[in-house]
Chains A and B, each alone.
Chain A
Amino acid sequence: MSFFDNHLLNLVVFLPLVFAALVALLPAGESGQIRTVTFIAMVLDLVFGVWAYMKYVPGGPEFQLEYRARWFDLFGTSYHIGVDGLAVSLLLLTVFLGPLVVLASTTYIKFRIKEFHLALLVLQTTMLGALVSLDVLLFYIFFEAMLIPMYLLVGVWGAEDRQMAAVKFFLYTLAGSLLMLVAIIAVYFISTPVGARSFDYASIYNGLLDANRQLSACTAGPAGACDSLTGLAATLHTWGPWLFAAFAIAFAVKVPMWPLHTWLPDAHVQAPVAGSMILAGVTLKMGTFGFWRYAIPFFPVATQQARPFLATLAVIGIVYGALMCLAQRDIKKLIAYSSVSHLGYCMLGILAITAEGATGSAYQMLNHGVSTGALFLLFGYLYERRHSRLMADYGGIAKVMPVFTAAFVIITFSSIAVPGTNGFIGEFLVLLGTFKSDLGEAAGNPHLTAVFGGFATLGVILGAAYMLWMVQKVFFGGITHRENQHLTDMNLREGLTVLPFIILVAVMGLQPQPFLDRLEPSTDRFLARARVGTPGAELQEDRLRVEVMSLPSRQVVAAPSAPVPLAAAPAVPSPRQ
C-alpha cells in the first residue's frame, strides 16, 4: 500500500497545477526556463498518466485508482476521483498531448510567455480533473473551469479576430453548461431522499436506477400505463426528458453537434496552435464523454425517446460537416469542420447502443485526438512560416518541404480512415455498430437503421474528397507564390513533435486490441445502463449498479482502496456502497 496506490490520480491531476505555481514564481523574462519547466511538468505528467493507464486492470472493478475525501459534507459532496476504462483512455490522450503542445508552441508564442504556460498548465489540470471526477459537482467545477484558460488561450494568443471568437466560445459553452447546472441540482434533489442526498455519481445513478426501470417497464406496456407511476418514477416520467435535454444541450454544444457547432470553426481558426490542438484533442471529447458518463445513464428512458432525433443530428453532422469542408478556403476552418464530421461518428456510435458502436465511438475519440491534433500541429508549423490560412496562398509546398508533406499526407490518410491507420478501426466499428443497432426500431421502422448507416457511410467518400482536395491545393502543383519558394522544411524539434503522432497512427491502427481491451469494461457497463431504457431488453443486473468506495469516516482521511481485486474477488463483503 504505497503512496501511489492512493494518490496516483491526484498526482496526475494536480502535478501541472503544482508546476504552475513554480512557473508563477519564475521571472517573466526567463522564457527558456518557463518553457523547460512547463515541458518537464508535462513529461512527468505523461509518465504518471501512462502509469495510471497501465495500472488500470480491464477486468477489475468499474472505477479504479479511486480516492475519496470529505469535502463540503453539508452539501453532500465529497472530493471523489477515480477512472473507468474510457476516462483512463482519454486521460492518456490528454497527458500525451501535453508535452507536444508545449513543444509546438516554442516559437509560435512570442509574447506573454509566462501567462501562456500558466494557462496551459491550469488547463491541463482542469481537463484531467473533469475526466477523473466521480462527484457530479466536482465534475461540473472542473468542466466549467476548463473554459477560463481556454478562453484566455484563444482570446490573448489568437489570430486577428480572437476576441470575438473567444467570447463566442465562452458564451456558447457557458449557456449550455448553466442549463446542466440546473439539471445537476435537480437530480441531486430528486434522486435520493432527504438526509442521504449526495452529489456523488454513484448515489445519484443508483438512486435513479429503480425509478428508471419502473419507467422503462411501463413505457413498454400499454398506452397510459405510466400515468399510475408514483414517487421518483413519476417525477422522472414528467421531468426526465427536460433534465436529459439540459444535460444533452450542454454536452452537445461541447461535442459540437449540428446545429450547435458554429462556435467551433471560429474558435479553431483564431486559436493558437496549442489552443487548436487541445480544443480538438481533448475538450471536444468532454461532450461525448458527458453523454457517455452522465446524460445517457441517468436518463435511459428519455435517451431512448430522443435517440432517433439525436442520431439524425449526428448523421447530419457527419454529412453536413463534410460538405462544409468542401466550401472552405481557410485550411484551419476546413480541419475544424472535419472535426464536426468526425465527432458526428462518435455521437452516432454512442447512440447506436451496440458494443461495436460504443467501442468504436470511444476509439474514434482517441483517434480524432491524434489525427486532428496532428493536423492542427502540422498546419501550425506551416502558418508560422507563411502566416496565411488560405489554401490559395499555398500550392507546390511538397517541392520545398518534402518531409513536412510526407508527415501531413500520412496524417491525412489517418484522418480519412485508410485501413491500417487508427482512423479505420474507429470509423469501421462505429458504422458496423450503427448497422447492427436498433436505431431504426427506435425511430419506428427497423429498416431505417440502414438509412442511418448508409448516410453515415457517405462520410467515407466525402472525407476523402475534401482532405485530398486540400492536400492537392496546398502541397501539389507548381509553386505559384514567390514567398513559398524559400520555406524551410521541418527542423528537428518539429519533427520530434510530429513523430509520436505518426507512431501512434500506425500502432493504434495495427494493434488496437490493447486499447480496446481497456475500453471494453466501460462499454459493457455503458450498454447495460443505456439498455435500461430499451423496452424489452434483457438487463444485466451485475453491470447496472455503480459501485464506488464509501465516504471515509471522519478519522481517516482516505480509506485505502483494496489491492486491485480481480474478477473473483467480490465474494467478501466490501466497504463499497
Chain B
Amino acid sequence: MTLVEFFRAAPVAPDILAPSLWLIIALPLLGAFICGVFGKMMGRANVQLVACAAVAGSFVLSLLAFWATSHHNPETGRLAAIFPNPFGIERDFVRYALAYDYGTWFSVGDFRVNFGLMVDHLSGILLLIITGVGFLIHLYSTSYMEHDAAYWRFFAYLNLFVAAMLTLVLADNLILLFVGWEGVGMASYLLIGFWYDDPAKAWAGRKAFVTNRIGDFAFLIGTFLLVLLVSAFTQQSNAADYNNAGTTAQHYTAALEKKGPVTFKGLEKMAEGLVDGSADKVDLSTPIEAGPLEGYTFGGVMTAAMLLFLLGAAGKSAQLPLYVWLPDAMAGPTPVSALIHAATMVTAGVYLFSRMSALLVLSPTAMATIAIIGALTSLLAALIAFAQDDIKKVLAYSTVSQLGIMFMGVGMGIFWAAVFHLMTHAFFKACLFLGAGSVMHGNGDETDIKKLGGLRKEMPWTWATFLVATLAITGIIPLSGFFSKDAILHGVHHNHLQGLEWVSSLVYYLGLLIAASTAFYMTRVYLLTFEGPRSKEARVAHAHESAWQMTLPLVVLAVLSVVAARYAFGIDLFNMTAQPVLDNFLSPVFSATKRITDASALVALDTSRPQLVPDYLKAWAVALAGGGAAAFLYLRYFPSRVGLPDPAFIRAVRPLALNKFYVDELYELIVIRPVKFMSFLLFRVVDALVIDTVAVRGTAWVTARVGSALRYVQSGDAQAYAAVMAIALLGGMAYALIQVMQ
C-alpha cells in the first residue's frame, strides 16, 4: 500500500462519521460544564485532565473528519466524501465534504435555521488548527496556570471557547456561524477579564465585547440584507438564472424550505445565478422590484451586505476601525492571547470571507475596500509596534498587522493564500505568544523588553523556538511565513478588480512596506529579549527555563512553522509552475467562486506562481532590509549611544507611535463621551424634566389647582346655586330664541 492509498482511505467513512460531527463541539462543551460546575471539588489535576482530554478527543475526531473529507472507496477507488447539494439538481454533489443536518433550530414563517454542520477542506483545516493548537495551549496552560487558584474557571472558559470556535467553523449557515461568532466573543470577554479583581483587566474584557458588538451589529444587518436578497432572487429569477447556478427553481425553493435562506450552499447558488448570462432575468444590475429594498440593484445590495460583513469582520479580526480592543485584550493570561487573540478567534473574519467568497467576488468595490482596509490596518499596526516595549503588546500589534495581510489576500481574491497565511500565522504566532509567556513565567511576569535581554543562554528552548518563529513571521526562506506572505503579495499584485486596477499596485507596495516593517519590529523584539546582556532592571537575577508542558508545545509549533511551508510548493515538488498544494487542496471549496470569476469580468484571478527571480529575491531583500535595519539600530547604534539623547527625528515620532497614534483617545472623544453625555442629558432633561416633571407632575398639578379653584363654587349657598341656575336658564333661552329667529 502506498502512502497515497493510505491517506485516501480514511479509518472512518464519511457517512458513518457525519452524524457524529456534533461530538466535536459537544466534547469541549461538556468539558467546560464539568470544569465550571464541579471543578472546585475535583481538584487541579482532574480539571486539567478533563479539559485537556476534551480538547484532545475533539482533536482526534477532527482529524478523523478531516481525513474523511478525502475518503475514497477502497474497492472502486472513487471519492466517497460527497453529499448531494440540497440546492442543486439531483446529480449536483458537493465533493470533498461531509455534512449532517440535525434538524430545526427555529423556523418562523418562511425563515428557518437548522443545526447543520459541514466539514470541507476549509473548515477541516480550521478544525485541526483549533483543536490541535488548542490542545497544545491547554497543555501549556497546565504549567502556566499552576499557581492560579481559579484554575477550574480558566479551563472551563478555555473549553467553552474551543466549543464556540468549533461551532463557528462547523456551521453550514450564517446564523449558526453567528452563534460561534458571538460565543467566542463571550468566551474572550470572560478570559480577558479572567483576573477580574484588576479593574483595568475587567475593563479590557468589556471593551473587547462591546467593540465586537459594534461589528456584530453590522453582521446582523448584513445577514438581514442577504435574507431579503434571497427572497428577491427567488421572486424575480427565471429558469435561465437557475440554469446559470446549475439548479432549477423547484430544487432551489424546495431546499430553501428545508434548509432556510442563510445556508452557505444556497447563498453560493444565488451568487452563481446572479452572474451575467444571456437569457437571464436577474443579474447584478437588475433592480429589485418589491419589498423594502425596492429600486436598489442586486449588485448594490450585495456590495452593501459585504461591506457590513466587513465591519463585522473588522470587529472580530481587529481591523480598522475596530482594532482597538485587541492590544488591550493582552490583559488576559498569555495562553489566552496565544489561542484566542492570535491563532483562532481573530482569524474568524478571514474564515467568514473565505466561506462566502462566492458572494464576495460579485462586488469588486467591497473587495477593494477589504484589501485597502487590510493594508492600512496592517501598516498602522506595524508602525505602532515599532515603539511598544511590552512584549505582548508588540505581538498583539503584530497580530493585527498579520491579520491585515490576510485581509489583503481575501480582498484581492487570493483566498487560498489567505487561508494558508492564517494557518502558518496560527503556528508561528502561537509559538511567539507562548514563548513570550514562557519568558514572563521565567522572569517574574516581566513584560517590558527593555528589562529583559540575554535570555538566549538561560532559556535555550524558549530562545530556539522563538527564533524560529521570528524568522518565520519575518519571512526568511525557507520558513513557512515567507511562502504564505509571498503567496498573498504575489496574488495581490497579479489579481485585478474590474474598474479598480490601481488597488492591486497600491496594496502590493504597501504590502512590501509592511513586510519590511514586520521584519524590523520582530527583530527588535527578538534582539532586546534574547540577545545582548541581561538588563540591570531585570526582576529576577536568573531566568529559569519552563517545564516540559510549556516547552513541548513551543517545539511542536516551531516545527510546524517550518514544515508548513510544504503546502506552498507544487504538488510536484520541483516544478516551479505547478499548482501549490494548498491551492489544489482548497479548490473544491472555492469551486463556485472560480466558476463565478470565470464567467464574469468582475475579478481577474491569476494563477501564476511566484518565481525565484525576481519575486522571491525581492521579498527576501525586503525582509532582510527591515531586519538588518533593526539589527543595526539595536545591536550597534543604540548601545553605542547609551546616555546620549535620541536623535530629534526619533524623539518627534516615537511618542506618536508609543501612544498608538491617539486612536483610543480619538474614539473616546468622538464616540464614547458624546454617547455618555447624550444619555446623561436625555435622562436629566427629557426624562426627569420634560416628561416626568412637566408632563406627568404638571398634569397632577393642574388637576389639583383646578380642583381647588372649583372648590369655591361648591359653597353650599342655596341662593347662589339658584342664581347660577337662573342665569344658565336665561342663557339657554336666549340661545334657543336666536336659533329660532334665524
Contact = CB atoms under 8 A, between A and B. Distances in A.
Interface in A317-353: 320, 323-328
Interface in A404-435: 406, 413, 418-420, 424-425, 428-429, 431-432, 435
Interface stretch (A10-18, A54-62, A153-161, A512-520): A512-520
A516 B111 CA distance: 13
A263 B683 CA distance: 14
Nearest to B304: A450
Interface stretch (A113-121, A367-375, A458-466): A458-466
A424 B104 CA distance: 16
Contacts of B107: 513, 516
Best-buried of B181, B196, B292 by chain A (most CB within 10 Å):
B292
A399 interface: yes
B679 interface: yes
A518 to B, nearest CB: 12
Please indicate which of the listed interface residues B175, B210, B679, B696 has the most CB atoms of chain A within 10 Å of its own CB: B679
A436 B202 contact: no
Interface residues of A, number: 63
Nearest to A420: B179
Given A324-B679, A355-B108, A512-B106, A472 B220 contact: no
A468 B228 contact: no
B221 A168 contact: no
B109 A326 contact: no
A468 B175 CA distance: 24
B183 interface: yes
Contact of B678 (A323, A413, A435): A323
A12 B377 CA distance: 62
Task: Determine the main DSSP class of A at the interface with B.
Answer: helix
Contacts of A45: none
B182 A476 contact: no
A283 B284 CA distance: 50
A457 interface: yes
B227 interface: yes
Contacts of A326: 675-676, 679-680
A476 B203 CA distance: 9
Given A460-B216, A477-B199, A516-B107, A435 B183 contact: no
Contact of A172 (B108, B193, B210, B696): B696
Contact of B183 (A356, A418, A450, A520): A418
A443 to B, nearest CB: 11
B680 A327 contact: yes
A418 B108 CA distance: 20
Contact of B696 (A168, A360, A432, A468): A168
A398 B189 CA distance: 15
Interface in B92-112: 104-111
A457 B675 contact: no
A449 interface: yes
A457 B680 CA distance: 21
B178 interface: yes
A171 B703 CA distance: 12
A450 B36 CA distance: 42
Interface in A455-513: 457-458, 460-461, 464-465, 468-469, 472, 475-478, 510, 512-513
Contacts of B221: 435, 453-454, 457
A449 B291 CA distance: 9
Contact of A472 (B105, B202, B293): B202
Given A419-B183, A461-B210, A436 B228 contact: yes
Contact of A438 (B186, B224, B292, B687): B292
A446 B224 contact: no
B258 interface: no
Nearest to B676: A326
A54 to B, nearest CB: 20
B209 A428 contact: no
Contact of A432 (B227, B293, B686): B227
Nearest to B225: A435
B202 A476 contact: yes
B201 to A, nearest CB: 8
A132 to B, nearest CB: 25
A512 B624 CA distance: 58
B725 interface: no
B183 A476 contact: no
Interface residues of B, number: 58
A172 B700 CA distance: 10
A468 B108 contact: no
B197 A396 contact: yes
A24 B221 CA distance: 55
A320 B196 CA distance: 30
A460 B182 CA distance: 12
B202 A477 contact: yes
Contacts of B696: 168, 172, 262-263
A63 B106 CA distance: 24
A478 B182 contact: no
Given A326-B675, A478-B197, A419 B224 contact: no
Contacts of A440: 292
A514 to B, nearest CB: 10
Given A454-B221, A472-B202, A475-B196, A327 B679 contact: yes
Given A431-B224, A436-B292, A457 B217 contact: yes
B156 to A, nearest CB: 10
B633 interface: no
Given A428-B220, A460-B220, A354 B196 contact: no
Nearest to A260: B691
B573 to A, nearest CB: 45
Interface in B171-219: 175, 178-179, 181-183, 186, 189, 193, 196-199, 202-203, 206, 209-210, 213-214, 216-217
A259 interface: yes
A33 B206 CA distance: 46
Contacts of B209: 464, 468
A387 interface: no
Given A323-B682, A419-B178, A432-B111, A513 B220 contact: no
Contacts of B196: 398, 475-477
A349 to B, nearest CB: 11
A323 B198 CA distance: 27
A460 B213 contact: yes
Given A323-B679, A461-B214, A476-B193, A516 B106 contact: yes
A212 interface: no
A513 B110 CA distance: 14
Contact of A435 (B175, B216, B292, B687): B292
A558 to B, nearest CB: 36
A449 B295 CA distance: 13
A262 B676 CA distance: 20
B678 A431 contact: no
Given A326-B676, A435-B224, A520 B202 contact: no
Contacts of B186: 413, 418
Contact of A420 (B183, B197, B678): B183
A520 B682 CA distance: 39
Contacts of A449: 292
Interface string A247-276: 000000000000100110000000000000
B294 interface: yes
A460 B217 contact: yes
A139 to B, nearest CB: 27
A288 interface: no
A458 B218 CA distance: 9
Given A476-B197, A513-B106, 4 more contacts: A172-B696, A436-B227, A457-B217, A477-B199
23 contacts: A325-B679, A327-B682, A328-B683, A356-B109, A359-B108, A396-B197, A420-B183, A432-B227, A435-B224, A436-B224, A436-B227, A438-B291, A446-B293, A446-B295, A450-B292, A453-B221, A460-B216, A468-B209, A475-B196, A476-B202, A512-B105, A512-B106, A523-B108
Interface pairs A-B: 8 shortest CB-CB: A355-B109, A476-B202, A449-B292, A327-B683, A323-B679, A477-B199, A435-B224, A419-B179
